[in-house]
Structure 1
Amino acid sequence: MKRIAILFFLFNTVFIFAQKQISGVVKDNTGSPLPGVNIIEKGTNNGASTDSDGSYKITVKEGASLVFTYLGYSSVTKLANASQIDVSLSEEGGQSLDEVVVTGSRTAARSNTTSALPIDVLSSKDLTSTGQATFDKALQYKIPSFNTVQTPVNDATSLLDPYEIRNMGPSRTLILINGKRKNLSSLLYVQTSPGRGETGADISAIPTDAIERVEILRDGASAQYGSDAIAGVVNIILKKNVTDSYVTLRSGITSEGDGEMLGVSLNSGTTVGEKGFLNYTIDFSKVNLANRPGTVDAEGDAGDFGATLADVQSYLAKYPDARNINGSPENASAKFLINGGSPISENTNLYYNAAYVYKKVKSFANFRTPYWRPLSDDPYLNDFYGNGDAANPSYEGYGPTFEGDLSDYNGTLGFKNVKNGWNTDASVTVGGNKQLYSVNNSVNRSDILDTDGNNVYRENSPISFKPGGASFNHIVGNLDISKILSDQFSIGFGTEFRSEYFSVIEGDKASWDGTGADSFAGNRPENSGKWNRYNVGVYLDVAFDVTKDFQINGTVRHEEYSDFGGATVWKASTRYKFLDDKITFRGSVSTGFRAPTLHQIYTQKSQYSFVAGQGIQISGIINNVSPQARQLGIRPLDAEKSTNITVGVGAKPFQNFTVTVDYYNIKVEDRIVLGDRQNTRFGNVAWFSNSFDTRTSGLDIVLGYNNVGIGEGKLGFNLSGNVTLENERISPVTQNSFGDILNSLTFTSRPETKWILGINYEIGKFGFSLNNTYFGKTTFNQDGLISNEVRDTDGNLLRDANGDPVRDETKPNLKTQFIPKIVTDLGVTFNPNEKFTIALNVNNLFNVLPEWKFVAENEQGAALLADPARTKQQSNLLTFNQRYSTMTYDGFHFSQLGTMFNLSLSYKF
């Protein structure tokens, strides 16, 4: 026994002395510490990572080698021949940070030219170089497949504009912040504009100065991330910098002298404790109203409102725009964001981020002229909006305001642990969005009597109303585990729990009683309430490098929802590199799903909207779980299902040149739409349904050639484009009414093609950029536009067996087309020293405005357009008698404000 004990002691002594502990610090080539660097004992699964100050410790065998890897930097291998090994990682000769992404796989990160998935990466500099005031508008002029629009009559939409990738609607793009799900907005888009019937996250609320980079996955990703990722994923990576602070002053104005903008932001950082970090951003901004009303047609207004032509002409002689306010609304915002982390043990790091945004927006409804709201019908209006003198009234109408207060918050707290090569990430994310509305300069015109026989409203009406609002919030728990098992194989798996809450907030009684507040009726008690659901998801993700050039990846996910059941989806992707990684072929096939939002399930409301030729009318939305829906035979909503196919090639033939071309094909089954209004026993109403299947296909092309030496400076070119090959319904309409109007909004309201050509030149202390964005053809069939669709005596659309509208070919049929345009942006930066930066941006340099024309769909339509009087009548119907002559009532795809000048001053300290 003694001999055995001695041998055991000697064995352990040899083993102990055969191991050694190595420590050190890892920095970049500027001397800044790099947190999160992976250190692996070569040929083993033994690993560690650096703390927030770049320090590490690892125990390895005698004679081992250490491999240091970090996103965007060349890997370094060091022989473990000393107890202290400090390492400097450099970008030179390796991949730049803009080439490396973490989005798209739950295992190892890949570069975008050699990844299996198409991903765009934008740096903070890319975003700020656009000169755009908000993050969503910056993406509009950087990503061809990304589109956003500002609707001309805003109402609640003035608080945030609908956006989308690949013409798929805002609800099919998932927004992440540092890889964690961003909460949806509480707003459901119900205007007759792109995005109708959908909702999305408020990405305009995110301060641009807080963003380090943005990774945009242009591929279906429901298997990796869950619902809402049918079209793609936008992952916003926040800054970690603690060494420098930046204060930036921004100002701007349009060439018309309105829309003045003033903003100030601070981005700074500090260490927390010995090894932690905290980066924070504070951003305040104010934008004044920019008004672009049209010159109102007197004959059209006289006909619409039953007024004498002389009275209308007399008023329009004084106010040619009928005092309409139409353009970009006044808004103010305050944004606060933090991003931090700190080690809490040798192997575990705490991380967190949080943001709060407040926005105040003031927009306007259509102005109620005295021939629209005459004193003969409502004499008390002279007391509210005139001089109160019945004999000599000075009443000239009134303009209801729509004012919105938005608060949006999100926060994540999590822990990352690395032990024996296993990476564990556990987090809790909360987020919410609340919108409260106000209507001023309005009146409740309802004839409602109290018990004494007196009018409750009319002459006794308030002129300010609180119509209520909506709120949405969620709580998300994530557990993600991954490991690189070998040089060839990595694995990731995890789970997610999400609980969602949606509320419709009741308005004050005067806002909804009777016909409610003129211009925007409040939420009625029976339509208000709070609803909740939860879901649980699990996934497994594996990646296998068959060879160093051939890689395959597979993911499977299952989710269970409390309100409609479960969904199982999967994804398979691959890439093959050759010619020393200069060319990569890649492709993916996946299934996906999108759960109907709580907004779509439970929203029920009455709303004012403009109906061409009929003025402002009240219509409604009934939800799918209401008694009214059951009486009409409307079925509850189910999840959309999708099939995504992507095939592409990426090439980097030499150091500064990259090109990617990707084909995508997206089939969505049981697509959820808000149908046409229909006359029913409950009035003129619309509802949501899983109505039909669609297919969207196209090409994404991205080309970049940078660091070209011209004289003493460097020149760079970037060309990117999106071409839509197919975007249409591929099945009969099964549950709803879907005519030409909704067909246009769903399928043709975005450019058929969009291209961005950017040229950058840096020389000495100056930088110059010239950006040209080509917006291709867009077509609309607007509400009120003459159509040969056939309707029954109740005004409901008749459909054939395929769900297509029945047509009367003896009647004219028209559509409108927005003419392709190129918008040019110029940027100039000047750095007088290393601390001070001056940037001037002239957006829409050549004052290009949206322009549209009528297009005849048949011979009768062509005959109509040959008659100037009938053509004018059609134009009046679409533009509310020329109030919206630049872009029509239903929207457009770039700004109607013309040239804008923006100047920013940034100081680093």
Structure 2
Amino acid sequence: MVRLSPLAASIAALCLGASFQVLAAEDAPQATGQKKIEVITTIGTRVSGRMATESPAPVDIIGEEQLAQSGATELGRALQIAAPSFNFSSTTVSDGSDIIRPATLRGLGPDQVLVLVNGKRRHQQALVNTQETVGKGSAGYDINAIPLSAVKRVEVLRDGAAAQYGSDAIAGVINIVLKDSSEAGSLRVEAGQTYEGDGENLVLAANKGFALGDAGFINLSLEYRDRGETNRAGPATLELTGGNLIGKWWDENDQSVVRLHIGDAESKNLYAWVNGGYDLSDTTELYFFGGYSSRDGESAGFFRGPGSDRTIPELYPEGFLPQLSTNVDDTSAAAGLRGDLNEDWKWDVGAVWGRSEFSFNSNNSANVSWYYEPKPDNSGIYGETPTSAHDGTLIFEQTTVNADINGSVDWGANLEPLYLAFGLELRQDAYQIVAGDPWSYSYGRNNGTTPILHSDTGTPVMAGIQGFPGFGPKQAVDQDRSSYALYADAETNLTDELLVGAAVRYEHYQMAGDNVSGKLSSRYEFNDSFSIRGTVSSGFRAPGVQQINYSQVLTNLVNGELVETGTVANSSPVAAEFGIENLDVETSLSYSIGMVAEPIDDLKLSLDIFQIDIDDRIVISDPLTADIGPEVAAALAANRLGAAQFFTNSVDTRTRGLDLVATYDISLDHGADLKLAAALSLVDNEVKAIHSKSSIIPAETLFGDVQKLRLEEGQPGEKLNLSVIYQLSDWEVALNNTYYGEVSGQAFGSKKTWSGKWLTDLSVSYQATDELRLTIGGTNIFDVYPDKWGEEGDVYSQAGFTYGWETLPFGINGGAYYAKAVYSF
């Protein structure tokens, strides 16, 4: 059962007097003097011009102004504030997840929501989340690869839509609509920092539209964002270990000092995006859009102190903090033709290509085995090692070709038209792991099997560069997969009050087989002020090529023998030896029922209750070791493995929830306007069953309590946003209050529950001239932090982890302030 906390319950009633802006779905841009050519696909329905409030499923449309009022400088954070059930967890000391944060909808996984741009499928990220974070084992969508300066609005369909849009749309669909002005332009300068004086943030952005003669337009966006690092680590007291954790962490006077870097990674971001269209005739339009983003991040690992066999006194006499440099290059391009067959039917044929490339690089580090490896002539050790390395690159590419047609037919003299849509989709997914420098992964120069001893400690040393050991030739992969889909969609009004719809989709995936999904939807309008709506749908998600082919293996010494441990590719023969089956599709069954009401003028309410059952959910297993049983021990020994983990379809889950959104716009005296807004989301996740796909691995060993806890309680079960916007003449005051419910985690220690918190954002804007708008504001103005670790953190709290890192929804930076100037022309 979904329940509100006492705090959330006490303010839920305020939702009845607040609002959430819902706009009409808009037509495509048209060139001056030309016939309007409507967009075939509108999110949630393929009926052109359908209002969002008329949809049988909940659709939120978040405009450019609302995104700006959030005070966020990145799209993911802005959506977290504006969209009811969107979550954007903050992570730290989590390798690549520090720069690409997991984006989720309705409490599900990052890869269980589909992202579109201008109604077309967007490619996923190359990064697989393998650290102890929300979305572990998934490869979702890189929301922040799209800059705010390019976004006109965001449409969020909070309903299962796999039958309409295909794989991934179990939780819903996010459609990012790009700016399409052919004349207007803007320049934006923004700067700010945290109350602590770090996290300096600089944004320079430009957007400009141009007419292409009398028949088209092109809209260009450029943005640069420089975000400084933050650090909220505490001193390493380490009472339990006498100052030692991976070597000595106390200083030379045996005093506690800060040894870790825990907070936002430093990030430099550059974006270039384009959106355009050109009317080839009165009935045919060429459209194109795409963009490029490049982001460089700098984060840190654990400190290696003096006396540890992971450090080299000759290079780092005081120890060292390994640095991880990441580079994310994201590129996409789309083009197509659309037009009118006649007055009733429209067509659209287009192709989208996308590429995500994630590169890992280590700095301020060392390969200890490389340094202490004995020379072949027994004249001593080599005594040298690179202190930086390229650790490898992950690459995901996707090409999608769509052909769609939709229109209406008269099917009875006394009946409304029957709206129909049909389509074909062809897709090619490709995944690569490119090996890093030899010293990033190897055990000595020859990657041998003889233990290499540390000259000072006399103990065997580890392979690979410290911090993030690289990908080796055994992990290198270059695989692709093809799929195709056919769909049909129908919608009509059986009476003036009753709307019904149905959709069916067949998909075939190489390596994952066939799937058929369907959806039924309905909306009944009692009067102009009240209607009810509901859907039932089956859905699916095909395993990503990332999950099928990803592997990362480390070399460690176990009982005097060098063995490999880590993630083994699901498609490998080694996985088959453990009885791990090839990945199959996840399947889902979703139900929702809701209502839309306008009890008085300008007060709009919507309430939706949903349930999502997912079977055979793909997860990454816990590490499997020899103590599980003799058959597992034999398989590990045969492959010289100390431990192994795999991707597998092993969990069934049930998600129940409620979304309540509302708006109330009030005109005050003296020309002032007051807009009240609220969005409440309640989500409850339950792991119904864990089942092993292997005859030699018990289910309870495959997916343990720590991972189960993360699925069930790792994301807020309650989220409430209350906002007030006051406008008078040239002034605007925007106030956002967001409540994030409690979350829990257990990675590397005892279970810890972080209590729910309110965060308050405030901004004041002044329209200085017709062109210039000035804003000053603050985010988290009351400087709210998550609960501290306390005793539950044990040695991690004493190491300097003042706050958690795996499941926190709003991060650990505290308050920040900023100033912004926007010049429109």
TM-score exceeds 0.5: yes
In structure 2, distance between residues paired with 1:331 and 1:315:
35
Out of 378, 384, 390, which is 1:466 matched to?
A: 390
Structure 2 counterpart of 1:633 = 579
Out of 312, 326, 337, which is 1:415 matched to?
A: 337
Residue 369 of structure 2 is aligned to residue 452 of structure 1: no
In structure 1, distance between residues paired with 2:43 and 2:601:
23
In structure 2, distance between residues paired with 1:506 and 1:885:
36
Q: Is the partner of 2:250 in helix, strand or coil?
A: helix
Aligned ranges 1:833-848 → 2 under 5 Å: 833-848=769-784
Whether the 8 Å CA contact 1:240–1:277 is kept in 2: the answer is yes
Structure 2 counterpart of 1:479 = 403
Out of 216, 223, 226, which is 1:283 matched to?
A: 223
Structure 1 counterpart of 2:475 = 527
In structure 1, distance between residues paired with 2:570 and 2:349:
37
Pair 702,433 (structure 1): closer, same or farther in 2 beyond 3 Å: same
In structure 2, distance between residues paired with 1:430 and 1:299:
54
Shift in Å, 1:300: 3.1
In structure 1, distance between residues paired with 2:381 and 2:252:
34
Q: Is the partner of 1:349 in helix, strand or coil?
A: strand
Shift in Å, 1:197: 0.4
In structure 2, distance between residues paired with 1:189 and 1:306:
25
Q: Is the partner of 1:576 in helix, strand or coil?
A: strand
Whether the 8 Å CA contact 1:438–1:465 is kept in 2: the answer is yes
> Where does the alignment leave 5 or more consecutive residues of structure 2 unmatched?
1-24, 411-415, 444-462, 557-562, 627-635, 694-698
In structure 2, distance between residues paired with 1:707 and 1:331:
41
Residue 131 of structure 2 is aligned to residue 172 of structure 1: no
Per-residue CA deviations over 1:113-141 (Å, capped at 9, x if unaligned) read 22101111100111111111210011111
Whether the 8 Å CA contact 2:33–2:214 is kept in 1: the answer is no
Q: Is the partner of 1:526 in helix, strand or coil?
A: coil
Structure 2 counterpart of 1:778 = 743
Shift in Å, 1:652: 2.1
Whether the 8 Å CA contact 2:243–2:250 is kept in 1: the answer is no
Structure 2 counterpart of 1:312 = 250
Aligned ranges 1:703-718 → 2 under 5 Å: 703-718=662-677
In structure 1, distance between residues paired with 2:361 and 2:381:
20
Whether the 8 Å CA contact 1:488–1:546 is kept in 2: the answer is no
Pair 155,456 (structure 1): closer, same or farther in 2 beyond 3 Å: farther
Residue 362 of structure 2 is aligned to residue 439 of structure 1: yes
Shift in Å, 1:529: 1.4
Q: Is the partner of 1:405 in helix, strand or coil?
A: strand
Structure 2 counterpart of 1:384 = 315
Out of 688, 691, 700, which is 1:730 matched to?
A: 688
Structure 2 counterpart of 1:400 = 322
Counterpart residue identity of residue 111, structure 2:
S
In structure 1, distance between residues paired with 2:717 and 2:254:
39
Per-residue CA deviations over 1:369-389 (Å, capped at 9, x if unaligned) read 224468xxx6xx34423xxxx
Per-residue CA deviations over 1:656-711 (Å, capped at 9, x if unaligned) read 11110000100001111111112141212211111021100110000110143254
Structure 1 counterpart of 2:525 = 577
In structure 2, distance between residues paired with 1:717 and 1:417:
40
Structure 2 counterpart of 1:587 = 534
Structure 2 counterpart of 1:509 = 438
Shift in Å, 1:779: 2.0
Q: Is the partner of 2:79 in helix, strand or coil?
A: helix
In structure 2, distance between residues paired with 1:50 and 1:254:
40
TM-score of the superposed pair, with normalisation by structure 1: 0.79
Whether the 8 Å CA contact 1:413–1:428 is kept in 2: the answer is yes
Per-residue CA deviations over 1:697-736 (Å, capped at 9, x if unaligned) read 1100001101432543110111111112x31111243335
Structure 1 counterpart of 2:207 = 267
Pair 694,298 (structure 1): closer, same or farther in 2 beyond 3 Å: closer
Residue 661 of structure 2 is aligned to residue 702 of structure 1: yes
Pair 106,448 (structure 1): closer, same or farther in 2 beyond 3 Å: farther
Per-residue CA deviations over 1:159-182 (Å, capped at 9, x if unaligned) read 210110111110001000000011
Q: Is the partner of 1:204 in helix, strand or coil?
A: helix
Structure 2 counterpart of 1:614 = none
Structure 2 counterpart of 1:95 = none
Aligned ranges 1:66-465 → 2 under 5 Å: 102-302=42-242, 305=245, 312=250, 314=252, 317=255, 320-322=257-259, 324-372=260-308, 381-385=312-316, 395-420=317-342, 421-446=344-369, 447-453=372-378, 459-465=383-389
Moved more, 637-646 or 291-300: 291-300
Shift in Å, 1:239: 0.9
Shift in Å, 1:272: 0.8
In structure 1, distance between residues paired with 2:254 and 2:569:
42
Whether the 8 Å CA contact 1:782–1:878 is kept in 2: the answer is no
In structure 1, distance between residues paired with 2:246 and 2:333:
55
Structure 1 counterpart of 2:453 = none
Whether the 8 Å CA contact 1:600–1:688 is kept in 2: the answer is yes
Q: Is the partner of 2:685 in helix, strand or coil?
A: strand
Shift in Å, 1:242: 1.8
Whether the 8 Å CA contact 2:477–2:549 is kept in 1: the answer is no
In structure 1, distance between residues paired with 2:530 and 2:156:
21
Shift in Å, 1:654: 3.8
Out of 32, 35, 54, which is 1:56 matched to?
A: 35
Pair 853,397 (structure 1): closer, same or farther in 2 beyond 3 Å: closer
Whether the 8 Å CA contact 2:529–2:598 is kept in 1: the answer is yes
In structure 2, distance between residues paired with 1:526 and 1:782:
29
Q: Is the partner of 1:833 in helix, strand or coil?
A: coil
Residue 810 of structure 2 is aligned to residue 894 of structure 1: yes
In structure 1, distance between residues paired with 2:582 and 2:26:
47
In structure 1, distance between residues paired with 2:30 and 2:117:
22
Structure 1 counterpart of 2:824 = 908
Counterpart residue identity of residue 626, structure 1:
S
Higher relative contact order (CA closer than 8 Å, sequence separation 6+)? 2
In structure 1, distance between residues paired with 2:145 and 2:35:
37
Structure 2 counterpart of 1:876 = 794
Pair 607,307 (structure 1): closer, same or farther in 2 beyond 3 Å: closer
Shift in Å, 1:833: 1.3
Q: Is the partner of 2:679 in helix, strand or coil?
A: strand
Pair 453,650 (structure 1): closer, same or farther in 2 beyond 3 Å: farther
Whether the 8 Å CA contact 2:41–2:48 is kept in 1: the answer is no
Whether the 8 Å CA contact 1:823–1:848 is kept in 2: the answer is yes
Out of 726, 737, 760, which is 2:725 matched to?
A: 760
Residue 477 of structure 2 is aligned to residue 539 of structure 1: no
Counterpart residue identity of residue 814, structure 2:
G
Counterpart residue identity of residue 522, structure 2:
T
Shift in Å, 1:759: 0.6
Structure 2 counterpart of 1:493 = 422
> Where does the alignment leave 5 or more consecutive residues of structure 1 unmatched?
1-34, 38-48, 58-68, 72-99, 386-394, 610-616, 786-814, 855-871
Structure 1 counterpart of 2:4 = none
Give the root-mean-square deviation of aligned CA atoms: 2.4
Pair 445,343 (structure 1): closer, same or farther in 2 beyond 3 Å: same
Moved more, 506-515 or 648-657: 648-657
Pair 710,688 (structure 1): closer, same or farther in 2 beyond 3 Å: farther
Shift in Å, 1:316: 5.7
**Identity value in percent:** 30
Residue 684 of structure 2 is aligned to residue 746 of structure 1: no
Residue 503 of structure 2 is aligned to residue 555 of structure 1: yes
In structure 1, distance between residues paired with 2:396 and 2:407:
36
In structure 1, distance between residues paired with 2:793 and 2:481:
46
In structure 1, distance between residues paired with 2:532 and 2:156:
19
**Count of residue pairs brought into register by the alignment:** 749
Whether the 8 Å CA contact 2:523–2:534 is kept in 1: the answer is yes
In structure 2, distance between residues paired with 1:456 and 1:706:
76
Shift in Å, 1:306: 8.3
Whether the 8 Å CA contact 2:224–2:271 is kept in 1: the answer is yes
